[in-house]
Amino acid sequence: MLLLLFRSNRPPSSSGARPMTGARGQLGTSAGRPAGTATRLTTAMNPGTARPGTRGGAVAGGLALNSQVNVVDRPTTQQGLGGMKTAARGRRQVMDKTYFLGLLRSKLNDLNGEINNLNKDIENTNDENSSFLTYDKRAEVLAGEIRDLQAELGDYNILVDKLTIDEDIQDVEFDCNNLKAQNDRDSKKIEEMFEVKKQKEEYIAQLEMEIDQEKRMADNLVNDMDPKLRQKYQKLKTLNDHLLKQTEIGQQELDQLNSKIETLQEDLSMSQVKQEAVRLYEQIHELTSKRDSLIEESKQRGSPAEEREKLLKQVKEDNQEIASMERQIKEINEKIESLQDDINQYDMDIEENQGEKNQKYKELRKREETMDEFLDTFEDTKAQELKRMTELQGAIVNSLEHVSRNMGRFGSLPTPGELATMKDDLAFKEDEMKKSETTTIGLASERDKLEQDLKKLDVMEEKLHAELAVLKEKSVTMQRDLVIYSDLDKLKEQAEEKKQKLQDDRVILQKRREAFKKHIQQMTAKYEGLKSQLNDNETYTQLANLERKWQHHEQNNFSMKEFIATRTMECDYRPLSKQFYSMMDEYNQILQDKLAGKKGM
């Protein structure tokens, strides 16, 4: 569609071009056509190009008012006769008015169709837009509804929670009131803040007004100024502006560069390679600077003679400097000395003049100081001294007493020789005392040992007594036995008697044994007979089998009963349930108390 239109826009150029080439289009025997249309049509009917005339062509092939195809007409090429050009893609061969009209019509139809489609699309989109708006509104409304419902749901949920927890209505009201209070507080805060904000805004408006006022005043001043001054002012102002801008730009650049530096530094700090690079760069820098300096040096070096001269000059200069400095120092020292001498002289003068007075003054001052000290510490020292005095008095009294006592003994004092002997004695006695002390310690330990031995001996004595008693008894019995045993004959007689009796008994018992044996034999024979009789009896064997089976069953029974009993005992939940109930009661009680206590607060 668009291309066709494009083509229609271009007719002037194409019409200019095409006819020149002339025989490009396979014009049939069409004649008497207006140039415009011809040119247009040629462009339209160009099969050689890749124009989408195919579209139009195909359509045209179908819809155009085709006249019969003149087989006779031979298509001509640029150089004259050409080959038979067959129809390309079922298009019409003969391109005459009707064909082109047909084409045009088809194109028009297409265009119309497209326009209709577009219109429909537009309408659709418009409808959709409008419907979208309505939907949007509805969505908003619904969202609002949803919000409300959600709030309701939330309220209901809270209610359900409160119900399941069995919370008191008082608690609920309490919470409600809390929330209300909180809300009031918050709203108040918000109002306050709003007020503050308003105030601030007013303040800002005020300030702005002031600023404007000032500005106007400044302007007035400027206007009132001389024109020259004004110019200057203007120039300065513009300069100021310019500079400000520059500073701004410069600041921005600076910030950028700073940020860049920071990032680069971060990167630097992260990457070790870069750090190394930095180090190496620094090294390079150092070395280059060194090199430069060395190069400069070498440049400046010149020949050794010059060097020597230079050095000598330098040395001379330095020496001169040193000398001068030394002189200065000397002078200063001399000055110092002279001043000191002056000072001393002055002092001496002062002393001479005021020698005595000064000394007296000094003495007086010293005395004053000591007196002040004394006064300060007077009390303390007084107390101390008093104490000392009393102590000393006491000591004196004691010593006096002592002395008086000793005086009494004076007569009996021994001579030094005697004193010496007494001292010897004393030393000797001391030694003895020490020795005796050690001996007492040893004796004490020995005493302990001996006491223990004594206890042991007591115990042994008791044992011995007991043994003695036992032995006495034994001896008595032994005596008796002795008497008995000493009487050998009697013993012999007794033994004989016993032997006889035992023999008799033996005989009797043997007889009895035989009788018993016989008896037993009879009984066992009877018993065996009965047993065999029993075993022969079928009923008995059957009974025995049944009995055995019964025993087996009873065993199973019993073991199962035992098993059941043990298991029921294990599964016995009753004590556990009792425990549980009691614990639950306790717990409930505690909870109740706690809640009651809380409310009471």
Q: Which residues bind other proteins (CB under 8 A)?
A: 508, 511-512, 514-516, 518-519, 547, 550-551, 554-555, 558-559, 561, 565-566, 569
Q: Which residues touch 88 (CB under 8 Å, ≥6 apart)?
A: 47, 54, 57
Q: Is 43 exposed, middle or buried (0-12, 13-18, 19+ CB in 10 A)?
A: buried
Closer of 528 and 585 to other proteins (Cβ): 528
Closer of 298 and 568 to other proteins (Cβ): 568
Q: How far is the CB of 560 from other proteins (least distance, A)?
A: 10
Closer of 483 and 543 to other proteins (Cβ): 543
Q: How far is the CB of 515 from other proteins (least distance, A)?
A: 4
Closer of 334 and 572 to other proteins (Cβ): 572
Q: How far is the CB of 507 from other proteins (least distance, A)?
A: 9
Structure tokens at 428: 């000797």
Q: How far is the CB of 530 from other proteins (least distance, A)?
A: 16
Closer of 408 and 575 to other proteins (Cβ): 575
Q: Backbone dihedral region of 89: left (phi > 0), alpha (psi from -120 to 50 degrees) or beta?
A: left
Q: How far is the CB of 568 from other proteins (least distance, A)?
A: 9
Structure tokens at 336: 């110092």
Closer of 485 and 550 to other proteins (Cβ): 550
Q: Which residues touch 38 (CB under 8 Å, ≥6 apart)?
A: 19, 27, 30
Q: How far is the CB of 535 from other proteins (least distance, A)?
A: 16
Q: How far is the CB of 520 from other proteins (least distance, A)?
A: 10
**C-alpha span between 263 and 270 (Å, rounded):** 10
Angle subtended at Cα 377 by Cα 375 and Cα 382, rounded to the nearest 5 degrees: 100
DSSP state string for 87-115? -TTS--S---HHHHHHHHHHHHHHHHHHH
Closer of 393 and 551 to other proteins (Cβ): 551
Q: Are 380 and 372 in contact (CB under 8 A)?
A: no
- What angle, 0 to 180 degrees and rounded to 10, lies between the N-to-C axes of helices 35-44 and 97-164? 60
Distances (CA, A) of 90 to 56, 67, 94, 102, 165: 11, 15, 12, 15, 88
Closer of 311 and 560 to other proteins (Cβ): 560
Q: How far is the CB of 519 from other proteins (least distance, A)?
A: 6
Q: How far is the CB of 545 from other proteins (least distance, A)?
A: 12
Closer of 485 and 527 to other proteins (Cβ): 527
Closer of 255 and 528 to other proteins (Cβ): 528
Alpha-carbon Rg for the chain in angstroms:
74
Q: How far is the CB of 513 from other proteins (least distance, A)?
A: 9
Closer of 488 and 576 to other proteins (Cβ): 576
Q: Are 88 and 60 in contact (CB under 8 A)?
A: no
Measure the CA dihedral 177/180/184/189, to 10°. 100
Structure tokens at 408: 């009494």
Structure tokens at 175: 């919470």
Q: How far is the CB of 534 from other proteins (least distance, A)?
A: 13
Q: How far is the CB of 558 from other proteins (least distance, A)?
A: 4
Distances (CA, A) of 241 to 26, 221, 228, 245: 76, 19, 19, 6
3-class state of residue 168 by DSSP: coil
Closer of 483 and 565 to other proteins (Cβ): 565
Query: Which one, of 22, 18, 25, 21, lies nearest residue 75 by Cα?
Result: 25
Residue entry with tokens 């006249």: 67
CA 524: distance to chain centroid?
A: 99
CA pseudo-torsion sign 573, 578, 581, 586: negative
Q: Which residues touch 358 (CB under 8 Å, ≥6 apart)?
A: 350, 351
